[in-house]
Amino acid sequence: MPSPYRALFAAPGTKAFSAAGFIGRLPLSMMGIGIVTMISQLTGRYGLAGALSATVALSAAALGPQISRLVDRHGQRRVLRPATLVAGVAAGGLLLCAHEGWPDWTLFVFSAGIGCVPSLGSMVRARWAEIYRGSPRELHTAYAFESVVDEACFIFGPIAAIGLSTVWFPEAGPLVAGLCLLAGVFLLTAQRSTEPVPQPKEHHTKGSALRAPGLQVLVGTFVATGAIFGSVDVVTVAFAEEQGHKAAASLVLAVYALGSCLAGVVFGLLHLKGSGERRWLLGVCAMAVSMIPLQLAGNLPFLAVALFVAGLAIAPTMVTTMALIEQHVPRANLTEGMTWVGTGLAVGIAVGSSVAGWVIDAAGADAGYLVSNAAGALAAAVALLGYRRLNRPVKPEGIDEQDERDQRDEQSVA
C-alpha cells in the first residue's frame, strides 16, 4: 500500500471502523437490485420490481438526512442502532410478504420502512474528519480512500446480490444485504473511541443544514450527477441487450466503476494546492464532457473504453465535494451535510433511470445516452451558476452570522 494510505491507518481504530463501514455499505448497492431480482423471479413483474426499488431509494432520500441530523445531535450509537433495527424489521417484512404472495400494498409499506437505513458512508467520513481535523493532507487521503471503497461496493455488491438470488433462492440477495447492514452498523457503533462527540445544542444551525447556500449548490449539482449515473446504468443494460450480450452489461458497468476506483487511488496520493472550488467545477465539467463519446459507441468494447475514461472524473470530484462540505456546513451538522449530498445523488439516480427507461422504450438504447448527456450538461450548468456561492464558506466554529443574531435576540428576550 502506498505510504500515504499506510500512514492514514496508523491512527488507532481506523482499520476497524473502515472495515465495519465497508460491510455496512454493501447494502447500498445490493438492496435495490436484489429487490428487483427477487420480485422479478417470484412474480415476473418488472414494473412492480422497479417501483419497489424506487420506493426504497426515495424513502431513504427523505429519511436519511433526518437520521443524520439526529446523529449530529445525539451521537452515532444512540441513533444508528434503533434506526437500523427498524430498517431490518422492514426488510424482513418485505421478504415475508414477497415469499407469501401478500397484496402489493404490503410490499410498498415495508419498502418505505427500509428507508430508515442510515448513511454509513457519511458516518465513516465523519469519523475521519474527527480524527484528522486540522490535517487537510491526511483528510484528503481519507476521503479518497472512502471513494474507492464506495466504488468497490458498487463493483461487487450488485454481482453478489444477483448471484445470490439467482443461484440460491430469490430472497437471498436482499436477505444478505440486510444482514450486512445489521452487522456493519453494530460493529461500527461498538467502536466508541473514534465516534465523533455530539456538539453542544447551541452550535447547531436552526433548521436543516441545507440552509447553507454552498450546500444547496452541491446538492443541486449532485441531483443532476445522479441522473448521469442512473441513466448510464439503465441504457448500458439496454445497449448490451440490443447487441445480443445482455450479461456483459455488468462487466461493462464494472469497468465504469473501476475507472473511478483507480482515479480515486491516484488522487489520494496527490498533494494538491489551489482552490478546491475550482477543482470541483472542473471535475463536474469533465463528467459532463465524458458523456459525449457514449453517443458514438457502436459496440460493447468501445463503450467499455468510453465508460472507463468517463469514470476517471468521478472519484476526484466526489473527494473534492466532501472537502467542500466541511467548508460550507457547520461542524455540528457535518454528518447531515454529507448525507444531503448522498440524498441528492439518490434522487438523481431514480430520476435518471426512469427518464432513460422512457426514452429507450420510445427510441431505443442509442437514444438513451442523450439523457446522460443532458444530465451532464445540467450538472455543469448548476455548478457554473452556483460557483460564486461556494466562495462563501461558513464560520469554522459552526455558527453563521444569522445564528449569532438569533442567539442574541433570544438572550435579550430572556
Q: What is the pLDDT of residue 341?
A: 82
Below-50 pLDDT ranges, the chain: 1, 203-204, 395-414
Residues of the chain with CATH 1.20.1250.20: 11-198, 207-393
* Nearest residue to 348 via CA among 210, 219, 238: 219
Predicted local distance difference test score (pLDDT) of residue 106: 92
Residue 10: CB atoms within 10 A of its CB come to: 9
Q: Which CATH superfamily is domain 207-393 in?
A: MFS general substrate transporter like domains (1.20.1250.20)
| pTM (two decimals) | 0.74
pLDDT score, position 376: 93
pLDDT of residue 224: 92
Task: Name the CATH code of domain 11-198 (choices 2.60.40.10, 3.40.50.1110, 1.20.1250.20, 3.40.50.970).
Answer: 1.20.1250.20
pLDDT value of position 289: 94
| pLDDT, averaged across the chain | 81
